[in-house]
Structures are given as structure tokens and as C-alpha cells.
Structure 1
């Protein structure tokens, strides 16, 4: 009787099963699934709300074109920059939602990447122009932009666009539709640098000239303005001019600072072999948050500017509103001096009396 046991069938199948690999793939699949829903949804909301808000804003400005102030010049350029960004959002929403990723031509990839940074540069540099004007007006009682020199505001806006276009050149050159090497290959619109030095130079230009230096100018000017207003009473007109200006700066920082911080971390710890790593996901989320700024700006105007609300309602009702005052109360180009208003008139009369007394004594 043969008692031998054949164990070949049991021990020949000695392969191992990697549970961690299956678990990570499941997590990665769920993460991509959530991105494919949340990111396109956020882009879609920004696209609809932003186009409606900025379209309404431009319509009101066109209706008011006979009484344009220096403030309107900067508002128009900000809205144009926002619309340039908003029209690119459907492309990014499609990239996040579709399994193939970027399914468009490479030329659109370059345009969308450049438009994203042009909007950011224009936004922060135009705010710097407005901030410097407010700083000079409130702290030093002089103005950079006035109705006597309207060409200076237009020259400043053109310079802002030129600087923004120059700073966006690396995005135009290095943005490409690149295939990833994951389990499910797809194409993404990302930066592809020929050398690591080019990436460092591009990121330094963005961090220093596009973000850190303008942000430092904004913070310093805002601090000096607030300190001056808190230390002296200049009347309510100065306070009203800040009611729109400071929220604009605050919302800009809330929307764009997370993206720029993530980009700085990505510059330091970037892994070129992992185009879909955690930092890339963070960049995608924070860039979507930055785009939110394009649709929040018209809502700020509508909520804080009484003249803008009045003209908007009049336009919707098809009625006429005759007002030559600024829609925004930003004070850009408005010669609002401390001696205007009831308190200013009393101060002026007292000064005239003192001057007459001193003249009589002499």
C-alpha cells in the first residue's frame, strides 16, 4: 500500500499576494473619483457665477461710460483679466473629469497655462497700483492718479499687462500636454522643463516678481493706511474709500496665498517622476481656490458699493439713474481731501480766521 502524499500541487503555487498594492490602488481610485466630481463642479460654479458677475459689471460700466472715473479704468482691466481666466475653466474641468485627461490640442494647453498666471499677475499688480494711490492720498495727502492726468492710469494698466505677459512667457514655453506613467495612462496639461535650471528660474520669477514683492508692497501700504486712519480722524469720506479697497486686498490674499505656498513647497520638494503626486493634487485644489477670486470680486462690489447696486437695479429695471459719483468709492483718482465735508469746512473756516488775525497783527 502506497502511503506517499503528493504535495506538488500545494507548494508549486507559492506566489505572494500584495495586499498593500491593492489597498493603495483602491485609495488612489477613490481619490481620483472624488477629484473627477468636485474639481469640475467647482470650476463650473466659478465659470457661471464669474461670467454673470463680470458681464453685469462691464454692462454697468458701458452704461456709465460718459462719467467714467479713474477707478473705472482699473475695474475694467481687472474684469477683463478675470474673464480671460474664466473662459479657460471648462478646459480644466474637462481635464479633471474625463478619463483621458487633457483631450485637447497642445496649443490650448499653452494658452490656458498662460491665462492662469496672467490673471494672477494682473490682479496683484493692479491692486498694487490702487494701493499706492490710496497710500499717497491718505498718508501723504497727494494722489498718483487724478482727472488732471488721466493718461497716467492708462499707462499704468498697459504696463501691468506688459509685465504680466512677460512673466507668463515660461508658462507659454514649458506648458505641454504630457502623458503620465500610471496604471491608467492619461494626458495632463503640465509644465515640462528641458532642464532643472529652467524650472528654478521660472519659479523664482513667479515667487519673487509675481508674488512676494507685490504682496510686500500691499501689506506695507495697507498697514500704513490703517495706522494713519486709526491715529487721526479725517472724516467719513476716507473711511468709505477703504470699505471696498481693503476687502478686495483681503479676498485676493485668501484666494491666492494657499496656491502660492503650495507652489513654493512644490518648488523645493518637487518629484518629476510623480506628476500626479500629493503635491500635484494640492496644486490642483489650491489653483481652483485661486480661480474663485474671479467670481468673488463682482459680488464684493455688489455687496459693498451702494452706487453700483443702484445702477445695477436701474439697468435691470430699464430706468435711468443720473449720478456722476464713483460706483466703487475706491477713491482712485477722486480728489477727496481732508477739508471736504462738514468737518473739513469748519476746519477751513477756522484756518481762514486764524490767517486773517495773523495778518492783522502783522
Structure 2
């Protein structure tokens, strides 16, 4: 987690710096990708506290407020990431499959509004974490834990079920539908604009990375939820699921490091923005030096 924090912070700050300080206005896909970088930055900024908790054998050394804030930060990233990718998929779907019918909707101001709604929605969906996440001391094991204290088992099952529906089933269905339509259109249409093709290639790479990193964790969550609901009960199976969940959560967190790397490797437009930004800084430095000499 500490490695993910270091690399994720540096890479995502670099991405935000390129998008924010470049003279050219961001395109619609770039607005979504910059918000995705911001969501990843929120996640990695909270991981050091959880890393300390894990290294301390889950004995929470911080305050109850920080317990809630760290949990909300991780939850915010989960919601923001998946719904920003859903918006990106919808944008690419309209850009390639229906390029003329929804051109007015594909404007930067609507993209910014969509991002704002995603952030607000993510915050609202994390209200139960603010309500039920608590710090409790267990004298029999001499441990203070930061955990979700649901009022009863029914509330737990309902909330986890809603969570699974809204952060996995619904957005993944949207992303899958749009991605399949985009791929079919690209196969049929050979004269796709280079600009749209470059943006779409980067988006598809980011979508694939997200699915590879997050899909195993969500599938294990569903299996664990079914086990806790009484569909099956075997001690060895429950232990195996718990281990898988612990492993796959690190894979999911690694997605926050992988996204900025993909922007550089796959995103030619992003690389051009980086060059423009460095040229812009070099020119400014040269102008300042000349002015000082004069």
C-alpha cells in the first residue's frame, strides 16, 4: 500500500498538472480522465493510514473521525472511478456510434456537470459509512478496531446488496454495452477520424485495466455476500474467500497507479500535451532569463 501511495501520488499529480496547466482547453475525454486522476489521488492519499493499521495488526491508532474519513476516501474512489468510466464509455459511444445525433451533449460544460454529479452521488452513497463506521476497543484481545458497525444483519445485507448493484452490476453493464458497440463500429468503419480513434484507444485501454484490476474483487465480494446470506456455509471456503478478498483489494488499489502509466504509453494526445507543457515552461524560463539579463 505504501508503494501504491508513492507511485500513485506522483503519477496522478503529474497527470493533473499536465491537464490543468496546459494552455489548450481539455477535451471531453480529458475532463473525465482528469477527474479519474483526482479520484485516484483521493484514494492513494488515504492508504498510508490504512497501511499503518494493517502493520499494527488492525489495531487502529488514530481517531474515530480519521477512521471515517479514510473509509469514505476509499469508497469515494470506488464510486467515482466506475461512474467516470461509465461516462467515458457513453461519450465514446455517442462519438463513434451516433456521431451526429447527440453532438450537442458532447460539450465540455456537460462533461464538467456530469463529473460534478458523480462526485455528489459518490458522497451521498458513502453516508452509511459515515453513520456506521466506528472505532471500538476490545479488552479481551487488547485491540482497538476501525470497523463498520451495522445495527443488525438485515441492514448489512441490504446495504451490501445495494452497494453491489450500484458499484458493479449497473455501471459494468453500461460499460460493457458501450464498449461492445464501439468495437463493432470500429471494425465496420475504416474512415474513423484519427483524433477520435486515438481518444477511443486510450479509453478502451483504461476500461480494460479497470476491469482486470477491479473485477476479481467485486466477484469475490458477491460470493462472500452470498455466503453470509446463508447460501453456503463451509469454514474452509470462507477462509479462502477472505484471503482472496485481501489479495484482490491490492490489485484494485494498483489500478490507481496503472491509469497514469496507460496515459503515457497509449495516449498520444497526452504525450503531445506533455511536450507542449514542457515547451511552454521552457519558453517562459527563457523569457524570464532574457528579461533579467536586459
Fold shared by both chains (TM-score > 0.5): yes
Contact 2:15–2:260 (CA under 8 A) maintained in structure 1: yes
Pairwise CA distance, 1:174: 1.8
Pairwise CA distance, 1:258: 1.4
The alignment partner of 1:294 has SS state of helix
Counterpart check, 1:203 vs 2:203? no
Structure 1 residues 66-92: Cα deviation after superposition (integer angstroms, max 9, x where no partner): 433223321221122111111110011
1:319 to 269, 282, 285: 282
Distance verdict in 2 for CA 1:144–1:65, change over 3 Å: farther
Distance verdict in 2 for CA 1:143–1:314, change over 3 Å: same
2:65 and 2:239 map into 1 onto residues whose CA distance is: 25
Contact 1:78–1:126 (CA under 8 A) maintained in structure 2: yes
Distance verdict in 2 for CA 1:177–1:145, change over 3 Å: farther
The alignment partner of 2:100 has SS state of coil
Distance verdict in 2 for CA 1:268–1:148, change over 3 Å: closer
Match of 2:123 in 1: 165
2:16 and 2:101 map into 1 onto residues whose CA distance is: 26
Match of 1:357 in 2: none
1:307 to 252, 255, 269: 269
Distance verdict in 2 for CA 1:142–1:126, change over 3 Å: farther
Match of 1:70 in 2: 28
Match of 2:290 in 1: none
Contact 2:224–2:241 (CA under 8 A) maintained in structure 1: yes
Query: How many residues are aligned here?
Result: 275
The alignment partner of 2:145 has SS state of strand
Pairwise CA distance, 1:252: 0.7
The alignment partner of 1:101 has SS state of coil
Structure 1 residues 149-171: Cα deviation after superposition (integer angstroms, max 9, x where no partner): 43211211111112111211222
Contact 1:314–1:320 (CA under 8 A) maintained in structure 2: no
Superposition CA RMSD, Å: 2.7
Contact 1:145–1:153 (CA under 8 A) maintained in structure 2: no
Matches within 5 A, 1:309-348: 309-313=271-275, 315=277, 318-320=281-283
1:292 to 243, 248, 254: 254
Counterpart check, 1:126 vs 2:88? no
Structure that is richer in helix per residue: 2
Distance verdict in 2 for CA 1:224–1:297, change over 3 Å: same
Distance verdict in 2 for CA 1:77–1:286, change over 3 Å: same
2:169 to 212, 216, 223: 212
Pairwise CA distance, 1:198: 0.9
Contact 2:22–2:277 (CA under 8 A) maintained in structure 1: no
Match of 1:268 in 2: 226
Match of 1:177 in 2: 135
Match of 1:360 in 2: none
1:150 and 1:314 map into 2 onto residues whose CA distance is: 21
Bigger shift: residues 73-82 or 136-145: 136-145
Distance verdict in 2 for CA 1:138–1:64, change over 3 Å: same
Matches within 5 A, 1:202-281: 202-235=159-192, 237=194, 238-270=196-228, 278-281=240-243
Which structure 1 residue ranges, 5 or more long, are not aligned? 1-42, 322-362
Structure 1 residues 246-297: Cα deviation after superposition (integer angstroms, max 9, x where no partner): 11111111111111112112212239xx9x9554443332222211111111
Counterpart check, 1:283 vs 2:245? yes
The alignment partner of 2:282 has SS state of coil
Distance verdict in 2 for CA 1:181–1:62, change over 3 Å: same
TM-score, normalised by the number of residues in structure 2: 0.84
Bigger shift: residues 69-78 or 230-239: 230-239
